[in-house]
Amino acid sequence: MIVRILGEGQLDVPDAELDSLNRLDDELQAAVDGGEDAAFGTSLAALLAAVRKAGRPLPDDEIVPSDLVLPSADASLAEVRELLGDEGLIPG
């Protein structure tokens, strides 16, 4: 699956990583729902780090549609709250 991190670019992340990313997404959702700034920052950093670790960066000149779009590392809790859907940032 192709994941875009806003401000960074796209990564090709193996579908096998979806379950572990969903667990991190659930933690992020809980932090946002609870309005917990410290937990939010930790959860967002962990999710983005996992995507970066699992994914293979796509070249800047290779433009393909993204399956998922994640906020930048410096996004605020309010900004991420607006991006969250019923299933968090990562459906499934």
Tokens of 54: 């699992």
Whole-number pLDDT of residue 12? 97
Stated as kind and residue range, the H or E segment containing 30 is: helix 18-34
Whole-number pLDDT of residue 92? 67
Tokens of 60: 């800047």
Whole-number pLDDT of residue 52? 98
Whole-number pLDDT of residue 83? 84
60 — pLDDT class (breaks 50, 70, 90):
confident
Could you read off the pLDDT of 19-56 as tens digits, one per residue? 999 999 999 999 999 998 999 999 999 999 999 999 99
Neighbouring-strand partners of residue 69:
4
